[in-house]
Structure 1
Amino acid sequence: MRIVSCLLSMVMMSMLLPVPALASPQLDKLVLPKGFHIAVYSDQVPNAREIALGAKGTVFVGSMGAGKVYALTDTNHDGRADKVRVIASGLEMPVGVAFHDGDLYVSAVSRILVLRDIEDHLDDPPTPQVVYDKLPTKRHHGWKFIAFGPDSKLYVPIGAPCNICNPGNGYAKLLRMNPDGSDVQDVAYGIRNTVGFDWRRGSHQLWFTDNGRDMLGDNVPSDELNRVSHLGENFGYPFCHEGDILDPEFGKGHSCKNYTPPVLKLGAHVASLGMRFYNGRQFPASYRGAIIIAEHGSWNRTQKSGYRVMTVRLHGDKVVSYEPLITGFQQDQKAWGRPVDVQPLPDGSLLVSDDLAGAVYRVTYTP
């Protein structure tokens, strides 16, 4: 069984490895609610992944296969980046970017790097400095979405190094550290691979997406939207999936009642990645405080799922709706785009990264 699982993991990894951005944005195929509009912010960002905002308006974008970190600037404020710079290159899967006190932090599998005072040196970027280099070196789920929390600590996930396995406490978790890499502390366990998390305004509660395992069929298990209520909380992997399905191998002797269930099941194999709370004023009031989730899309489902951007509305901690914001990234089971991350801008518009088309889009609303 473990040999089969290992082989399946290798197949899955080969499917997840980045591919050249062969597609081009086809915005005429996208469907948004009435009053919403989408435009290209930049189509010069190969393998675009996580988005972070600088204090002076710079849009930073990490990448997967390109090994580069990009800085996008809109100097004439027309809603489109007029300059795209490569500020770091030759890095190992630098998916994650996080801006803090003038510095840009970058994830590179086993290391966390920092580019100091970056917005004042976009044309002559500094050499990345190592902040922390004791993360696992495995590349399977080794790319990392990173973000600073309201406690000014850097939160870093460590995905499971497999499709399904019991990797022990060194993997399948979320940890945090000080900006200088000190005081590393585990936050939560039983997380197969989170590639998106954010904190709710007011309560400062941490919410995150998590990708369900593969090879249990088209319709199970579901990806998850979760909320952390206390340090050390366990969300079930590899023993329990989606809160109510015991794993056929690793679930023996366990009960799903012993693990925290998801707040919302997002759907099987939708590949839920970046998520942010929308606190802007441009979108209708019904979006204020809602969660926006980028769903990258399935790779091994008979009928594709995901390939969309979704809105989750909350009343307290309860989900009241889960509905599309953007669809149309695939037609007739063929995808031209795959959403990865979402990032609200100060003016209330929303950026969406697409690693297949190598683009970043900007969503706006006019009544």
Structure 2
Amino acid sequence: MKHLLSSIATLALTAGLAQGQAANVPDNLDKLSNFQTTGVTDFTFIEQGGDYAEGIKATLDRVTLPDGFKIELYAVVPDARHMAVGPQGIVTFVGTRKDKVWSVTDRNKDRVADEVKDFAPSLQFSIPNGPCFSPDGFLYIAEQNRVLLFPAAEFFYESPDVAAFNLVAKGDLIPEEQESFNHTARVCDIGPDGKIYISLGQPFNVAPKENLDINTKWGIGGIIRMNTDGTGREVYTYGVRNSVGHDFHPETGELWWTDNQVDGMGDDIPPGELNRQTEMGQHFGHPWFGGGDVRTNEYKGEEVPVDVVMPAVETVAHAADLGMAFYTGSQFPAKYKNAIFSAQHGSWNRTEPVGARVMVTFIDDEGNATMEPFATGWLTEDGEYLGRPVDVAQLRDGSILVSDDLAGALYRISYEGN
């Protein structure tokens, strides 16, 4: 608590400086940073029953899982993207690619959400795709071009007004002239070093040469990290096209992350990627490689000026591997300990659709990884998507949540076998 109060006090003192660097910050952020009321009193509540929920449950009857596992509707959450489960297990925050962040609460602990309402409705969010928690209960939300910090959000989310601060002000995450509608769904995570890691997808299908210098400087097409007070920013990862999922190995501390690869080269190339990063500054190939060892047309034949780390797993082309999480619970069988559960969102332009499933990746003692399907059934035999998984998060009881932005839902997968 002492650390929490000290951090809030420090942020309150520096909030004015941070906001002065961003002319477009909504006025309500100024008020919330100074612990003032905004006058907003209403929440948007999402109905959890009715025909819509029953339709989602009917889809889940199609989903197949390994023996002993079951999947159930946990919550109806419009546009559900990446999730952050509160350290106390009280509430799960769910980002979107629109202008809402949702708080999801299971009040009676029957493992089904009782209430879904918007979080901090007095704020104007802009693509708040990526929420993440620090172990001591600080909520961070990575937006298109800003990172917000909410101390003690898990305890004060019941009010429309929540203490909120700029960790990275608008225009300081990426230059405003580099803002794009494409590849702007950020994700964040707190590393074992206590720093916050944030992905910055680059906006083009293949990064043009004239952008390479600015990309390198800012970490666009990479993963950056900084201290949790916003200082000490540095580029941790280079050569990323668009990563929308990362997590740290529970034992080695290595950063693993998914990457969506180049479009327009055909149905079957290039592969998607699951990457393993063993040290700061490694380069993973973009724009010289489109995925795996497949060279991009734009840079084909050119000498590659960097040492490239190839993926730990090459995934099916255009399946759109997104959110991922290492499994650290004890509910699932022992073989899943420290395995990666990840979501394949599904292809948008493949002539024969693929993806729309949850994958599991097993890693051996040498770091070799093998990926296989875990939950399937959202893609019909006729190529229709009945759902599009986005992210995976672990609840305190060892079950996992899967978000779906097409159905607008969270699913809970639990184990009841022997």
Residue 62 of structure 2 corresponds to: 29
1:230-241 matches, within 5 Å, as: 230-241=279-290
Moved more, 210-219 or 242-251: 242-251
Residue 79 of structure 1 corresponds to: 111
Deviations 1:217-268 (A, max 9, x none): 0000111010111111000001013331111112332249931100110110
Structure with more contact order per residue of length (Cα contacts < 8 Å, sep ≥ 6): 1
List gaps (5 residues or longer) in structure 2. 1-51
Find out whether 1:271 has 2:305 as its counterpart: no
Of residues 153, 166, 182, the one that matches 1:118 is: 153
Of residues 141, 157, 166, the one that matches 1:106 is: 141
Q: Kindly indicate whether the alpha-carbon contact (under 8 Å) linking 1:85 and 1:122 is maintained by their aligned counterparts in 2.
A: no
Find out whether 1:130 has 2:166 as its counterpart: yes
Residue 258 of structure 2 corresponds to: 209
- The one-letter code of the counterpart of 1:131 is L
Residue 95 of structure 1 corresponds to: 129
Find out whether 1:153 has 2:153 as its counterpart: no
Shift of 1:74: 1.0
Of residues 213, 226, 230, the one that matches 1:181 is: 230
Alignment RMSD (CA, Å): 1.7
The alignment covers a number of residue pairs equal to: 344
Of residues 180, 184, 200, the one that matches 1:142 is: 184
Residue 14 of structure 1 corresponds to: none
Structure possessing the higher radius of gyration over alpha carbons? 2
2: CA distance between counterparts of 1:355 and 1:243?
28
Q: How many percent identity over aligned positions?
A: 40
Residue 357 of structure 2 corresponds to: 308
Moved more, 211-220 or 250-259: 250-259
Q: Kindly indicate whether the alpha-carbon contact (under 8 Å) linking 1:191 and 1:237 is maintained by their aligned counterparts in 2.
A: yes
Deviations 1:87-130 (A, max 9, x none): 13431110000112322111111100112221221221415321
1:245-324 matches, within 5 Å, as: 245-255=294-304, 258-319=307-368, 321-324=370-373
Structure-2 change in CA distance of 1:257 and 1:220 (3 Å): farther
Q: Kindly indicate whether the alpha-carbon contact (under 8 Å) linking 2:354 and 2:379 is maintained by their aligned counterparts in 1.
A: no
Residue 24 of structure 2 corresponds to: none
Find out whether 1:56 has 2:105 as its counterpart: no
Residue 11 of structure 1 corresponds to: none
- The one-letter code of the counterpart of 1:191 is V
- The one-letter code of the counterpart of 1:132 is V
1: CA distance between counterparts of 2:203 and 2:364?
36
Find out whether 1:39 has 2:72 as its counterpart: yes
| Structure holding more strand per residue | 1
List gaps (5 residues or longer) in structure 1. 1-21
Deviations 1:149-193 (A, max 9, x none): 111111111111111123321321110011121110110100001
